[in-house]
Amino acid sequence: MAVKYNNPFEVNDFSGGITDDLYEQKYNTAETIDNFNIASDGKLITREGSVLDDETNPQIPAGVQRVGALINYANSDKMFVHSSDKIYYRNPSAYTTLTGPSGNDVFSSGDTTNVLSYSQWNDHIFLTTDDFPRPQKIYKDSGGTYRVRTSGLPELASAPTVTAGAAGANSYVYAFHYEYTYTVNDQTFQDVGRTELVSLTSAAAPDSNTVNITNIPVISNGVIDNWDTTVIKVFIYRTIAGGDVFYKIGEVTNGTTIYNDSAADASITSGLLLYTNDGTVDFDPTPESKVLHVVNNIGYYGFIQDGSDKYPFRIRQSVPGDPDSCPESFFIEVEDEIVGIHSVNSIPIVLCKRHIYRLEGNYDQFGRGGINFVRLSDTAGCVSSQSLVQADPGNGAGALFWAGNDGFYSTNGYQVIKISDNINTRYKTILDAQSQQNRIYGKFDETERRILWGIQSASASLDNDTIIALDLRWGVSARSTFYTWSGTSFRPTALEYFNGKLYRGDSRGYVFEHEMTNKTDPKVDTVVTPSDWDTETIIWTYKSINNNFGGTFFRKMPTKIQLTAGNEGNVTIQISAIGDVGRTVRNCNIIRIRTNFVWGSDEFVWGNPDCVWNAEGVIEQWRRFPARGLRLSYLNTVITNGYAPIYNSDVYGTATFDNTANTVTIDSDTWPTDVVDYFIATEIDGYVKEYQVDARTSNTVLSVIDSANDLPTGSYKWVIKGYKREEVLNLVSYNIHWVDISQTQQTFEVGQSGSNA
């Protein structure tokens, strides 16, 4: 057999991310990069673990209920948590439910199936959901109190009654509108409503015969709204006799239903003018809508509901500079059902089920101008308004990213590009599995220059169970860099960056925070006090593409592999070789590094000369590929956590096993604290049969799962195995030593040409 020796095949760059095209020859790509981050040098480092954001008060007041959104309130120390029709915040530890002046929740309707849409402007948060509640706004007033108010002000429910004091030759027109002045931090804002006009004819002058104004309507909240009914006022205006300019003559606080006008014409002309006197259009309140967005001081409201009628193609624009005043005439109809509205580089973008549009132009306060739309894509579409993310790819110009009909997309406002051609199959699986596609939830990490999307990867999950990350440091193209995060208890229903940390909402009413100092995730159990929760190993997995070492003419024989990793602490690594796309699977001997001293570790042996305090440097280990099945054309290399012994009776002493109670009682020591979900085996069968540790019921007793009813009874030596918690891998590179061997592929045989011969 002719043998040609080759230099080692080295992979030291992982910046290509994951791909579904497993026969491509870009070796910086991989089939799987899960629970790693791609560092700025292209290496892999285990992702940050998580803990509850507050263990004392861990769950929203609604209990086991889906967290629908997290909102980092700008210029504030609060993060808002949305679930169903409520908004919560910590004050400072226990959750406070944000309610309006009369105790109503933020939204008048909705449940956990509804999707929040929000936008921030001048320290306001404007909000709505796809259940068409009245849009709301949240802010912190000058006294430091967080407020929720219904967005905008309505017109008076009916016209007041205006009665002349006496008959005369004069004609007047009265005007009325609601007014609300409020503070946000150190700024003052004013809302005004649509005007109501009432004519008065054949009247004597008010200064000689008082005009009586009665039946001034009272605005109330009922069970729907959050207007500040004790502060709202009704402003009252009047013309002079025969005039057409309105001057303010007085005001009443909401709830006062009468006003007496005795002002002379000469005395009112220096008063405040009605806001429509200069041609400004009437201010209508914001419409009931599925989505909203504020950009360039203008609010845009999409997919409108008016009474029982719905307008899925309609967008209403606010008055410039006043996002919650929305004249009914300021609208445009696009050509497709609206899913979301956002912006990029100050350009409003409308994302529909199939089409993507750019909006150009706007109405001014006088109703002049208009809005035009320019179609940017015929087919990209958008499946989730919550997937929309503004981000800076690093070229100084912003971009908008979203989950589209057949992949992730991006636009700069002028062109749309698909950025996920390398994961087309995976993306289709995501959409097929996603029980509610509109739950795909995105957030931009400015520090690490990545976008994280919460997605559902498995139909059985019934909700988001995975994060897929787009790493912008490696550019935006048709084949951008993606990787994933996952976990057994992972339910990323909402994501937010707050105080420099990633926060993750959960389908069971919890919020978690991620940091690199955390090396595990909590094992969520809603019937157990969170302070007693166990933790889960973060299973990091790298699986290469199908490497052919440069060609398939000759078969290959890989003989050994060298792994190089940064020393991040003790670690257990399993390397596997998969030949010819699953034809053979071989596991190398485990790499088990235990030379780093970990303070408080149960397994540390004092006096071990190989152990080093605060060790640095690199880990370099060779492993031989097991014999048999090494001749191949393609090789997949898998690098993941190793399943290995963690604790044993050589250190802790024997234990007594009880087949009836399914317990294991240590004879003369105490059990390590982190043994739940590991597996225990005994000397009785050479440590072959393993039993999962279900609970650590006391310092000396473990409960185990014995489904086959073959747990032994008696005192035995034992070993506990598993995937060790809190182990981090910083994968720098791997090198495969291989040789070419002769052509061992099948030769041509009769019939292989497709003929019947």
> Structurally, how many domains does the chain consist of?
4
Q: Are 524 and 512 in contact (CB under 8 A)?
A: no
| 370: pLDDT strictly greater than 90 | yes
pLDDT digits (tens, 9 = 90+) for 549-569: 888 888 889 999 999 999 999
Domain contains 131: no
pLDDT at position 616 is 64
Domain contains 116: no
Cα gap 669→449, rounded to integer Å: 49
pLDDT digits (tens, 9 = 90+) for 94-142: 999 999 999 999 999 999 999 999 999 999 999 999 999 999 999 999 9
Looking at the structure, tell me whether residues 598 and 716 fall in a common domain.
no
pLDDT digits (tens, 9 = 90+) for 595-605: 775 555 555 55
Looking at the structure, tell me whether residues 657 and 674 fall in a common domain.
yes
Looking at the structure, tell me whether residues 408 and 508 fall in a common domain.
yes
691 pLDDT tier (thresholds 50, 70, 90)? very high
Beta strands in 318-465 (DSSP E): 331-333, 338-344, 347-352, 356-360, 372-377, 389-391, 399-403, 408-411, 416-418, 441-445, 450-455
Looking at the structure, tell me whether residues 413 and 529 fall in a common domain.
yes
Domain contains 611: yes
Helices (H), 412-558: 424-433
For the segment 406-429, the average pLDDT, to the nearest whole number, is 97
Domain contains 495: yes
User: Is residue 430 classed exposed, middle or buried when 0-12, 13-18 and 19+ CB atoms within 10 A define those classes?
Assistant: buried
Looking at the structure, tell me whether residues 707 and 596 fall in a common domain.
no
Looking at the structure, tell me whether residues 514 and 558 fall in a common domain.
no
Report the relative pairing of strands 17-18 and 29-34 from DSSP bridges. parallel
Looking at the structure, tell me whether residues 531 and 594 fall in a common domain.
no
| 257: pLDDT strictly greater than 50 | yes
**Boundary-marking domain end, from 484, 510, 535:** 535
Looking at the structure, tell me whether residues 566 and 472 fall in a common domain.
no
Looking at the structure, tell me whether residues 506 and 428 fall in a common domain.
yes
Q: pTM for this structure?
A: 0.94
Looking at the structure, tell me whether residues 552 and 467 fall in a common domain.
no
The token duo for 406 is: 């057949």
Cα gap 533→224, rounded to integer Å: 39
**Boundary-marking domain end, from 233, 268, 303:** 268
* CATH number of the structural domain spanning residue 668: 2.40.30
What is the distance between the terminal CA atoms of the chain, rounded to a whole angstrom?
Answer: 33
Q: Are 350 and 373 in contact (CB under 8 A)?
A: yes
**Boundary-marking domain end, from 501, 519, 535:** 535
Domain contains 592: yes
pLDDT at position 132 is 97
* CATH number of the structural domain spanning residue 585: 2.60.120
Looking at the structure, tell me whether residues 390 and 508 fall in a common domain.
yes
**Distance of alpha carbon 228 from the chain centroid:** 32
For the segment 519-534, the average pLDDT, to the nearest whole number, is 96
Q: What one-character DSSP code corresponds to residue 385?
A: G
Domain contains 489: yes
Domain contains 691: yes
Domain contains 369: no
pLDDT at position 5 is 47
721 pLDDT tier (thresholds 50, 70, 90)? very high
Looking at the structure, tell me whether residues 632 and 664 fall in a common domain.
no
Q: Which domain holds residue 476?
A: 48-64+383-535
